Structure 1
Amino acid sequence: MPDLSTIRNFCIIAHIDHGKSTLADRLLERTGTITEREMKEQTLDDMDLERERGITIKSHAVRMAHTAPDGQEYTLNLIDTPGHVDFTYEVSRALKACEGAILLVDAAQGIEAQTISNLWLALEQDLEIIPVINKIDLPVARPDEVAQALEDLIGEPAEDILQISAKTGEGVDEMLDLMIDRVPPPSGDPDAPLRALIFDSIYDSYRGSVVYARVFDGTLEAGDTMEFMSNKKQYDAEEMGILRMGRQKVDTFTAGDVGYIIGSIKDIQDARVGDTITTAHDPAEEPIPGFEEVKPMVFSGIYPTETDDFEELRGALEKLQLNDASLTYQAESSSALGYGFRVGFLGLLHMEIIQERLEREFDLDIITTVPNVEYEVEVEEKGEPKTVTVDKPEDMPHYGDIEAVHEPYVKADIITPSDYIGNVIELCEKRRGEYGSQRWLDGQTVKLEYELPLAEIVFDFYDNLKSASRGYASFDYELLEYRESDLVKLTILIDEKPAEPLSTIVHRDSAHEVGRKLAKKLKDVIPRQLYEVPVQASIGSRIVARETIKAQRKDVTAKCYGGDVSRKKKLLEEQKEGKKRMKQMGEIDVPQEAFLAILSVDED
């Protein structure tokens, strides 16, 4: 039975690019978990995408051993967390598995939105917070100013806040000792019924789902029948173990332990993040609180450019879903794009990552449609009120049947230097934002709180925010509720035929402007035909914008030299009749640029 007093379960929370993965590398080095020869940058980030973008996409865990100055050896379980707003639920479950958190802040960039968001999550879990200022080796570092801002935020005296450089290793040993002193050991009763929290799971093609869990109470032995409390599914615990840089098998899991469990779980959906594992022979009465069904927030259509690649795309999505239970998809077809899938994502970054992985790892050429959020639409059906859920414009009920449309709103926290407050407020007001509050973090930085429609931030809000603040502002959001809005479906017609994949849902006040901009952009990207092609935007049966793609002209009268004018008229009439017939049976090929044009409609 392990001595709980010598175990420390902790995590590192930080904004993107504040040095979390680099600090994890130094901890692995200083504790001898990994040799210098095996060392590589961002050791715990095993995807190329994670290294390139400087973010953590999947949670990781690793066990380290550290000898304190008094000679006592401690077991340290580092539970690394994702570092982006799209993965907030996964972060909250990883935090729940810990007793302490290192709050890492960049000495040059200072406190940012994601820092505060994750700090509140950690405080909700009642974690011991250890503020640490990183990157003090940078020439532009301002550690004293950042320390003062942290004191104002959490009350820790500025002079007591540790200053380190994860890159050079300066201060890392002191941080380890401070963490052991301040983070409490895990509590729990090894003799109580088993309660273990799942904070992550991955799929192994040979062993099935591998569950990463933290044991709060009880003991699990190899061969026990375990039960997932949310869905009552039962599996035998075939193997369990601890996580160093690989899996190390053990015979028993008990209170305070962090590691992996394998039980021939064929479907990763059975082992959901946040669920509680207990044993079938002595089940716990109550699960660990906080479990939620992860719901996708953003939806987009993904289609192969070559119709023959449809089955390859299906197989690629199946494989990605095995390691990412939050990814949802279902087959759909489009008259313009053929067969593809409607895919649900946690957010826009999640969508970008999936798209890049499909192209890189599976060598697929894909077309993606405009991302949409989920709306709740009230309609009257046979005299009875009914609410339908709509996640793409094609599914929007007929204009005359709609009673009301509700859209999701988010609470956005934006941290920006004071010089750019005006630009940021202007951007939020333009996106139908409702002002909440303003708080000064220090003399130069302010936190703005706005309530915004989710649909207004899924396109290019983050890019525009960076432009408005010259790259200095940071942004975080959380879902609030659904609110009634005056929304309409803006249908795009090409050659008087609806092009549903290009249609979108917009606020009525901006429908005319968006329709005009979109028609203008589509006019520039759709190839010219041998006849005039109208590009229109409509709400119901009312046309709100129109552009015309001019016909390619062939001078059929070029061969006429002199003679009666009736010869030229006859040739022009024949050409006119030919164009009329061509228009009746012609099909307009809509290129990928047309689908990208709708994403940049606000750039003008």
Structure 2
Amino acid sequence: MSDQDLETRAPSTAAANRLATEAGRRRTFAVISHPDAGKSTLTEALVLHARIITQAGAIHGKAGRRSTVSDWMEMEQARGISITSTALQFPYHSPEGQDCVINLLDTPGHADFSEDTYRVLSAVDCAVMLIDAAKGLEPQTLKLFQVCKHRGLPILTVINKWDRPGRHALELLDEIQERIGLKPTPLTWPVGIAGDFKGVLDRRTGNFIRFTRTAGGATAAPEEHIAPEQAHDAAGIDWDNAVEECELLSADDADHDQEAFLQGVTTPVLFTSAALNFGVNQLLDNLTRLAPPPSGQADVDGNVRPVDAPFSAFVFKVQAGMDSAHRDRIAYARVCSGTFERGDVLTHAATGKPFVTKYAQSVFGQQRSTLDNAWPGDVIGLANAAALRPGDTLFRDVPVQFPPIPSFSPAYFSVARGTDPSKHKQFRKGIEQLEQEGVVQVLRSDRRGEQAPVLAAVGPLQFEVTSHRMATEFNAPISLESLPYTVARAVDPEDAPFVDRQVSTEVLTRTDGVMLALFTTKWRLQGFCEDNPTVTLRPLVAAGDD
């Protein structure tokens, strides 16, 4: 479309100013970490400090067991891990007078759900990398960092669990710089060693922020801001050590530089105890101050669609089963440009068909409410969106197509069969829906037939989620028969029959039309390639790769 066409569809001056103001208020970020680093606890602590909830956790089950607002699935509460990503939107008024709208996306930490995390990272402007003070950088954290780096996302680092025994703060900073190549620039510094967390030194103001514990960490921890002159009397030798270490940091040029942060050269660092709600206010304040607002999004051709262009959005997740009373399906879409108004008729870029947004919703964990307007950076929930898939683009007026989300290379394969023949329709519907959500990949072949599709997954926990949801949501229990394959490669249709005839090899077709050759081991694959150099086998995107 020509520049003249864009100009004729440009918003009025007042509308353009409103759009710029609203986009500038948005902070859209994801929290990433290795499992058990305290990610969901931190997510809930952020919401608590924003005064959206009054007590961390909701009371469920016996003995007052708590679960977070972001981990709402039954399996998540039972296992204590995040299985699916969750969107939380809430307003926040910073102490410096900024009125912001936070779009916080809590991601699964477990490597088996890497695909879900990858989708989320395609929809944010910044990432908060959470590190356990005792364990430091762990394998899954490193993989997620590589994804952030590939996408050009600036990263804030939070060293969590400082209330427990752990490693020295300077040692953790050295590890960050050596292993991921970002220079740490602490914004706060702990007063007290790991396990004896008294508060933090705010490096910007020089003040000592002293925290007070609350019962079980259920409410926001009271803070006392103490001037540097009185800090020694309040914290003694711990304050003196913190001041000395901060002087060392400044001598090493480890002071915050906003431009270097946005360019992915440095990572601001904060110290917290999410379980006690210590240091959480400082994270919120620095996110609103430092994290970038929404900017233009590159389309499939590499052209940037500016935030003030006509409306466009990118679907990064589809989720069903959020409300057992209403078996609808929610498509999560990140607004990339323009203003969204409920009831708008958009165009689905993949099909060219209209998409009506009458049932647009604002999502806060499992809770939903009607949404009338949204702006760049916001995450909107589109109910009853049966036609939408992760990676789809929606637009109004001026066409655009954003890059699709790749499917990861599966490493686990199982044949799924319904255990009750009378549930045939439910079986097919359930498998189809879980595939559309991206819970598992589904492979088929004429040899196996429709009643025995092969489920392909990055990790075995995906099979557990599939079995659980098939039984509870679709009333169609399944049995899973594990297959011996561990490696998948894309194969051209003309080579597929030959590859399928080989020993310890099978070719199946994924729903998107890609034909996958499955091999029992990487050595079997290597031997096949050496024996058949004319057959082209293409690697798929691996978990944690670009």
Pick from 250, 253, 257: which aligns with 2:378? 257
- Corresponding residue for residue 271 of structure 2: 163
- Corresponding residue for residue 413 of structure 2: 299
State the shift of 1:63 in Å.
Answer: 0.8
Change (3 A) 1:203 1:363: closer
Change (3 A) 1:141 1:166: farther
Change (3 A) 1:125 1:368: same
Letter in 2 for 1:174: Q
Distance 2:490 2:158 in 1: 47
Alpha-carbon deviations, 1:372-411, whole Å to 9, x = none? 2465699999xx99554589958589xxxxxxx97679xx
Change (3 A) 1:293 1:142: same
Matched, 1:283 2:398: yes
Pick from 178, 181, 188: which aligns with 2:289? 181
Matched, 1:64 2:90: yes
Pick from 327, 347, 353: which aligns with 2:459? 347
Distance 1:295 1:202 in 2: 22
State the shift of 1:357 in Å.
Answer: 4.3
Say if 1:331 and 1:339, in contact at 8 Å, map to a contact too: no
Say if 2:317 and 2:437, in contact at 8 Å, map to a contact too: no
Say if 1:195 and 1:288, in contact at 8 Å, map to a contact too: no
SS in 2 for 1:372: coil
Distance 2:502 2:348 in 1: 31
Deviates more, 1:88-97 or 1:68-77: 88-97
Aligned length: 402
Say if 2:442 and 2:453, in contact at 8 Å, map to a contact too: no
State the shift of 1:255 in Å.
Answer: 2.4
- Corresponding residue for residue 524 of structure 1: none
- Corresponding residue for residue 426 of structure 1: none
Say if 2:434 and 2:440, in contact at 8 Å, map to a contact too: no
User: What is the aligned-residue RMSD (CA, Å)?
Assistant: 4.1
Pick from 114, 130, 138: which aligns with 1:104? 130
Say if 1:196 and 1:214, in contact at 8 Å, map to a contact too: yes
Alpha-carbon deviations, 1:3-52, whole Å to 9, x = none? 32222111111111111111011111111222328634332111222233
Change (3 A) 1:275 1:293: farther
Letter in 2 for 1:342: V
- Corresponding residue for residue 26 of structure 1: 45
Identify, as 1 or 2, the structure richer in strand.
1
Distance 2:529 2:375 in 1: 55
Distance 2:337 2:492 in 1: 49
Pick from 139, 154, 163: which aligns with 1:128? 154
Distance 2:353 2:523 in 1: 35
State the shift of 1:181 in Å.
Answer: 1.7
State the shift of 1:171 in Å.
Answer: 0.8
Distance 1:186 1:379 in 2: 40
Change (3 A) 1:192 1:406: closer
Letter in 2 for 1:352: E
Say if 1:136 and 1:143, in contact at 8 Å, map to a contact too: no
Say if 2:341 and 2:372, in contact at 8 Å, map to a contact too: yes
Alpha-carbon deviations, 1:315-374, whole Å to 9, x = none? 654564465464426598989xx9644323343332233235456765847352335246
- Corresponding residue for residue 553 of structure 1: none
- Corresponding residue for residue 579 of structure 1: none
Say if 1:203 and 1:322, in contact at 8 Å, map to a contact too: no
Alpha-carbon deviations, 1:285-344, whole Å to 9, x = none? x42235335675532113456767766655654564465464426598989xx9644323
Letter in 2 for 1:44: S
Say if 2:409 and 2:488, in contact at 8 Å, map to a contact too: no
Pick from 231, 237, 243: which aligns with 2:357? 237
1:491-530 to 2 correspondences below 5 Å: none
Change (3 A) 1:252 1:483: farther
Distance 1:392 1:29 in 2: 57
Change (3 A) 1:230 1:391: farther
Letter in 2 for 1:41: S
Say if 2:506 and 2:517, in contact at 8 Å, map to a contact too: no
Say if 2:390 and 2:438, in contact at 8 Å, map to a contact too: no
Distance 1:140 1:350 in 2: 32
Letter in 2 for 1:370: L
Say if 2:360 and 2:382, in contact at 8 Å, map to a contact too: yes
Say if 1:301 and 1:343, in contact at 8 Å, map to a contact too: yes
- Corresponding residue for residue 139 of structure 1: 165
Q: Greater CA radius of gyration, 1 or 2?
A: 1
Pick from 42, 64, 73: which aligns with 2:68? 42
Deviates more, 1:204-213 or 1:102-111: 204-213
Say if 1:108 and 1:143, in contact at 8 Å, map to a contact too: no
Pick from 6, 15, 31: which aligns with 1:12? 31
Distance 1:320 1:190 in 2: 33
Matched, 1:193 2:301: no
- Corresponding residue for residue 207 of structure 2: none
SS in 1 for 2:331: strand
Change (3 A) 1:90 1:242: same
1:367-382 to 2 correspondences below 5 Å: 367-373=480-486
Letter in 1 for 2:454: R
Alpha-carbon deviations, 1:514-543, whole Å to 9, x = none? xxxxxxxxxxxxxxxxxxxxxxxxxxxxxx
Distance 2:288 2:523 in 1: 41
Say if 2:333 and 2:382, in contact at 8 Å, map to a contact too: yes
Matched, 1:247 2:368: yes
Change (3 A) 1:373 1:239: same
1:474-485 to 2 correspondences below 5 Å: 483-485=526-528
Distance 1:407 1:363 in 2: 28
- Corresponding residue for residue 203 of structure 2: none
Runs of 5+ consecutive residues of structure 1 not aligned to the other structure:
398-404, 410-430, 432-452, 456-481, 489-604
Distance 1:377 1:125 in 2: 24
Distance 1:368 1:213 in 2: 35
Distance 1:156 1:357 in 2: 42
Runs of 5+ consecutive residues of structure 2 not aligned to the other structure:
1-17, 59-65, 187-248, 250-267, 297-305, 509-515, 532-546
Q: Percent identity?
A: 27
Say if 2:157 and 2:269, in contact at 8 Å, map to a contact too: yes
Higher RCO (C-alpha 8 Å, min separation 6): 2
Distance 1:166 1:363 in 2: 40
**TM-score normalised by length of structure 2:** 0.63
